[in-house]
Amino acid sequence: MALLLKPVPWVMLFLWNCIWRYIITTGGGGAAAVAEGLGQEKGGYEADRVLRLPGQPANPKLSQFSGYINVNEENGRALFYWFFEAQSQPSQKPLLLWLNGGPGCSSVAYGAAVELGPLLVKKLGTGLQYNKFAWNKEANLLFVESPVGVGFSYTNTSSDLTKLDDQFVAEDTYSFLVNWLKRFPMYRTHDFFIAGESYAGHYVPQLAELVYDRNKEPRKYPFIHLKGFMVGNPSTERFYDSKGMVEFAWGHDIISDDLLLLFSGVCNYGFPNNSDPRCTAGASLFFQSYAGLDIYDVYAPKCLLPKSSSPSPLWVGMPNFNMMRIPQGYDPCYSPYAEDYFNRQDVQIALHANTSGNVPGKWKTCDDSILRTYNFSVPSTLPIYTKLIKAGLRIWVYSGDTDGRLPFIGTRYCIESLGLAINAPWRFWYHKQQVAGRFVEYEGLTMVTVRGAGHLVPLNKPSQSLQLINSFMQGVALPTQN
């Protein structure tokens, strides 16, 4: 009898190892179903835990996860995420989703590894460094590479890549969020915020609107505790964004009086204008004027490394600009650093990335093939602002004041066009006894400028940006005394 009982623990251990190996090798894709069947829901997210990345500093210890979330089983679409629990009291901190734009630029490359994540890429081949101003000091921080085709995110149906537009992206990102919360059920009741920059000026408010609308149908959709959103140097409204870009360039002695008059008169800030060759020629001259400068940070140096094989980063694709090649962005060399690191096989294995070989070619910071096929069908997100302000969501918009691509001038035009009542007028805000920028509080919206920052505010002003996200999520005004 005893001889018959002895093998039982061994058999159970063997079966459990088989199940766990299946979970690991599927990159977490089958984890939730297996875990639910075993009554061990924890297994779903533990399979995605990242123990340590190559070149990661030993301290401080971070709780991080990464992997794939299916958003469309039929077409085989999956979005890649990287998640960091809050450094303290994660069970009490809100959940913050960060999105980058492009379209076609990676939130892993920029938001996570260059700007506001706790692990930043260092110079070529030297690994990672700890970011003491990481936003996961204030929130549980979630990055997703969106849409499919960006970074490690993929689709097994190539025709999906010809259908990309704002609605497609919002639907997939919403599906991602719902399914991610199934894998991480402990965050289902947390306050939820969305933030992003650049063309995420479209992605963020449209996702917020979708969450808000579906929260009103609790029998059909899971309730998500959306509290608000914040966007930085955002693409918002086609005309005002264009007008701001031209006036900023003229005001900083980058373009001539003649070009300003051409764009403001003949082109009506809609260039290149196919009906008038003067506008097309003027657009070429406009971007040539930035040849020796960084349009994303006009006072920053340019990267002098050999040109990356990837496209210039941080496209902000709109019909007026989407085929214009814009000078490369700012460390000034953060894009080559990110591409060098995330194309390493040991890094991809540690991140559970490209587990099935679904990502063709090299991982890129930005993919201009997405830009070429993206359908820019939404000229303005301002109606969404009006709707969600009335709904009582917390909405902040911030701008680095040295960005020439989506400058604060255009964003001011956008916000002022909403006709909101002013609760508190423009005034300085302070950080460490110095003026950090200006802000104005409207009825239902706060607009902030960040002094001396370009398109990537958390990269240029990390300490100030941490104060900014803290004030936003706490719902308190920025300090007005030094």
Under DSSP, is residue 124 helix (H, G, I), strand (E, B) or coil?
A: coil
The verdict on residue 477 lying in a domain is no
Q: Per the structure, how many domains does the chain have?
A: 2
Q: Report d(CA 420, CA 444) in Å as an integer.
A: 8
**32 and 64 housed in the same domain:** no
Q: Label the pairing between strands 226-232 and 394-400.
A: parallel
What range does the domain containing 126 cover? 48-254+290-422
Q: φ and ψ at 203, to 5 degrees?
A: -55, -45
**75 and 36 housed in the same domain:** no
**28 and 96 housed in the same domain:** no
**103 and 3 housed in the same domain:** no
The verdict on residue 276 lying in a domain is no
**38 and 182 housed in the same domain:** no
CATH assignment at residue 320? 3.40.50.1820
Instruction: List, by residue number, the catalytic residues.
Output: 198, 403, 455
Residue whose token pair is 């990672």: 128
Helices (H), 252-358: 257-264, 277-288, 334-342, 345-350
Last residue of a domain, one of 378, 393, 422: 422
CA distances from 337 to 34, 105, 151, 353 (A): 38, 15, 15, 18
**16 and 148 housed in the same domain:** no
Cβ-proximal residues to 86 (8 Å cutoff; 6+ apart), any chain: 93, 136, 137, 138, 139, 140, 141
Residue 27 has a pLDDT of 37
**37 and 185 housed in the same domain:** no
Residue 274 has a pLDDT of 65
The verdict on residue 304 lying in a domain is yes
Of 204, 193, 64, 214, the C-alpha closest to 146 is: 204
pLDDT in 10s for each residue of the chain, 482 residues: 333 333 334 334 334 444 443 443 333 333 333 333 322 345 589 999 999 999 999 888 899 999 999 999 999 999 999 999 999 999 999 999 999 999 999 999 999 999 999 999 987 767 899 999 999 999 999 999 999 999 999 999 989 999 999 999 999 999 999 999 999 999 999 999 999 999 999 999 999 999 999 999 999 999 999 999 999 999 999 999 999 999 999 999 999 999 999 999 999 998 666 678 899 899 999 999 998 888 999 998 877 766 543 333 333 433 333 333 333 233 567 788 899 999 999 999 999 999 888 888 899 999 888 988 899 989 999 999 999 999 999 999 999 999 999 999 999 999 999 999 999 999 999 999 999 999 999 999 999 999 999 999 999 999 999 999 999 999 999 999 87
Question: Exposure of 230 by Cβ count < 10 A (0-12 exposed, 13-18 middle, 19+ buried)?
Answer: buried
The verdict on residue 140 lying in a domain is yes
Residue 333 has a pLDDT of 73
Tokens of 242: 């264009």
**310 and 182 housed in the same domain:** yes
**7 and 126 housed in the same domain:** no
Residue 332 has a pLDDT of 63
The verdict on residue 430 lying in a domain is no
Q: Tell whether pTM > 0.95.
A: no
**40 and 53 housed in the same domain:** no
Residue 376 has a pLDDT of 92
Query: Rounded to an integer, what is the distance from CA 292 to the centroid of its chain?
Result: 27
The verdict on residue 196 lying in a domain is yes
**23 and 75 housed in the same domain:** no
Q: Report d(CA 78, CA 358) in Å as an integer.
A: 10
The verdict on residue 457 lying in a domain is no
The verdict on residue 432 lying in a domain is no
Residue 270 has a pLDDT of 82
**187 and 152 housed in the same domain:** yes
Residue 317 has a pLDDT of 39
**DSSP assignment letter at 220:** T
